[in-house]
A and B are shown apart, each in its own frame.
Chain A
Amino acid sequence: KAGVTQTPRYLIKTRGQQVTLSCSPISGHRSVSWYQQTPGQGLQFLFEYFSETQRNKGNFPGRFSGRQFSNSRSEMNVSTLELGDSALYLCASSLATSGGKETQYFGPGTRLLVL
């Protein structure tokens, strides 16, 4: 079974630009979550999508948005990039069964550098 894939793997942007990252979950997984990892702030939850609906959202500004398609693939968008948005962005998928027992499977991440 193929794992979680993320594209692109590396990205360099300049301040003020916008960026779209893509995540393809494991086949059959309906939940996709996004995380930002930085040396200073650690791992922070961005949002979770389930069946094309945003189910949970972390404490990030509105410049961070996402969506999920009917095939469970997800994209996240960051508009008006700031230097502080430089980070590793991780996507994780899970079966999202009831009771929260599901294990999350993480993709390799997209490393974003904002200049």
Chain B
Amino acid sequence: ELKVEQNPLFLSMQEGKNYTIYCNYSTTSDRLYWYRQDPGKSLESLFVLLSNGAVKQEGRLMASLDTKARLSTLHITAAVHDLSATYFCAVKNTGNQFYFGTGTSLTVIP
């Protein structure tokens, strides 16, 4: 079974700082997804990464994919309070099943 690990699980960062969330997965896949979930809410799609070396950016968030290392990163630049949420990565296996990471709970403090 495909395993997806995220770290850190919890992240508290000051406004204006940069940080990176890591997502490792255990088997070959070239489809990786990032989602955001606010407390008590559903998931919102952030990025879809479909090839080795793919990089996507939206505002203060940038996601990248290295399929050879089986690693994706979500980089946060100059964090603001509105980015406080839980971030999930998910990988689709060859059988088209989604496997989600454990989530990273991000708190941005003034």
Contact = CB atoms under 8 A, between A and B. Distances in A.
Interface of A: 33, 35, 42-45, 48, 55-56, 58-59, 90, 92, 99-101, 103-109
Interface in B93-110: 95-103
A50 B41 CA distance: 25
B6 to A, nearest CB: 10
B24 to A, nearest CB: 15
A100 B96 contact: yes
A33 B98 contact: yes
Contacts of A33: 98
A104 to B, nearest CB: 6
B88 interface: yes
Between B33, B41, B90, B96, the greatest number of chain A beta carbons within 10 A of the residue's beta carbon is seen for B96
Contact of A103 (B42, B45, B98, B103): B45
Nearest to A42: B102
User: For the complex, would chain A's binding face be called helix, strand, loop or mixed by DSSP majority?
Assistant: strand
Contact of A42 (B33, B35, B96, B100): B100
A110 B67 CA distance: 34
A90 B100 contact: no
A99 B50 CA distance: 9
Contact of A45 (B41, B44, B98, B101): B98
Nearest to A108: B42
Given A101-B48, A101-B50, A106 B97 contact: no
